[in-house]
Amino acid sequence: MKKLISVLGIITVLVFYFAYYFYNGYSGTFNLIAVSWGDGKYGKAFYGVYVYAVPFEDKISVKSTIHIGRGTPFVGYQYDLGEIGISNSMEEAVKQWGKITWSDEGVLIGKGQNHELFITKEKIESHR
pLDDT digits (tens, 9 = 90+) for 40-97: 888 899 999 999 999 888 999 999 999 998 766 665 788 899 999 999 999 999 999 9
Q: Is residue 64 part of a domain?
A: yes
Contacts 24+ apart (CB under 8 A), 36-44: 36/100, 36/102, 36/107, 38/102, 38/107, 39/102, 40/121, 40/124, 40/125, 41/125, 42/69, 42/125, 42/128, 43/69
Q: Is residue 112 part of a domain?
A: yes
Q: Is residue 18 part of a domain?
A: no
Query: How many C-beta atoms lie closer than 10 Å to residue 98's C-beta?
Result: 17
pTM for this prediction: 0.74
Tens of pLDDT along 91-119?
Answer: 999 999 999 999 999 999 998 777 899 99
Helix (H, G, I), strand (E, B) or coil at 57: coil
Tally of structural domains, the chain? 1
| Domain, as residue range, for 86 | 31-124
Query: How many C-beta atoms lie closer than 10 Å to residue 51's C-beta?
Result: 28
Q: Is residue 52 part of a domain?
A: yes
Q: Is residue 9 part of a domain?
A: no
Q: Is residue 20 part of a domain?
A: no
Q: Is residue 56 part of a domain?
A: yes
Q: Is residue 10 part of a domain?
A: no
* pLDDT confidence of residue 75: 59
